[in-house]
Chains A and B, each alone.
Chain A
Amino acid sequence: EADIYQTPRYLVIGTGKKITLECSQTMGHDKMYWYQQDPGMELHLIHYSYGVNSTEKGDLSSESTVSRIRTEHFPLTLESARPSHTSQYLCASSGQAQTYEQYFGPGTRLTVT
């Protein structure tokens, strides 16, 4: 069982609200990732981090932002939620090896009404 946690698991929120999705891992991994997944579709990388104070945008353009102030914590923020942000958000972390294992959290199902 991977030690990576996401909260909340489910969130229903109105348009225009600011939200923060939390992700924490206790494995001491330097690399962390945020993916977005719609039903029946592949995971898309939206943000990643090599370590503290390192954040990069992924393949899929996203209006969200991330921060990495501590190794174990990688929160994702949406300043003004819109219905188009409705999706499943998955956080993951990995070590440095070439065949690194990416461990995924349980995900946050976000619905913006």
Chain B
Amino acid sequence: KNQVEQSPQSLIILEGKNCTLQCNYTVSPFSNLRWYKQDTGRGPVSLTIMTFSENTKSNGRYTATLDADTKQSSLHITASQLSDSASYICVVADRGSTLGRLYFGRGTQLTVWP
């Protein structure tokens, strides 16, 4: 069964600190992995997309890593800001269908305190 598991479920950090969010997946055949940021009451916004051959991808203070062998990914946030408070969702796409089906994790709810 294709699944995407994220940890921790929720996380509270102080402004300026770093944090790392984890994602494990069993989706096969693998096409790509994305990290999305979803603010409360809004639609998800893409942060990074990584294919099988990519190990690391950065977008400003966000750095995602991918280990396709162990089927793990992480999202590292550097020097957190209050605006980073959101749900971070790991999404894995398969290449076994024309649609390129996406499998969503439940997200990590990050709260940044001043």
Contacts and interface: CB of A to CB of B under 8 A. Distances in A.
Interface stretch (B19-27, B59-67, B75-83, B104-112): B104-112
Interface string A1-21: 010000000000000000000
Nearest to B43: A104
Interface string A22-49: 0000000001000000001111110010
Given A48-B99, A107-B41, A102 B46 contact: yes
Nearest to B44: A104
Contacts of B102: 45, 102
Contacts of B56: none
Interface residues of A, number: 25
B17 interface: no
A90 interface: yes
B41 A98 contact: no
Contacts of B32: 98-99
B49 interface: yes
A105 B49 CA distance: 19
Contacts of A43: 44, 89, 104
A98 B89 CA distance: 20
A63 interface: no
Contacts of B100: 98, 100
A50 B93 CA distance: 17
Given A42-B105, A42-B106, A42-B107, A99 B43 contact: no
B7 interface: no
A106 interface: yes
Interface of B: 4, 31-32, 41-46, 49, 51, 89, 93, 95, 98-102, 104-107, 109
27 contacts: A40-B106, A41-B106, A42-B89, A42-B104, A42-B105, A43-B44, A43-B89, A44-B104, A50-B99, A59-B101, A88-B41, A92-B43, A98-B31, A99-B31, A99-B32, A99-B49, A99-B51, A101-B46, A101-B49, A102-B46, A102-B102, A104-B43, A104-B45, A106-B41, A106-B43, A107-B43, A109-B41
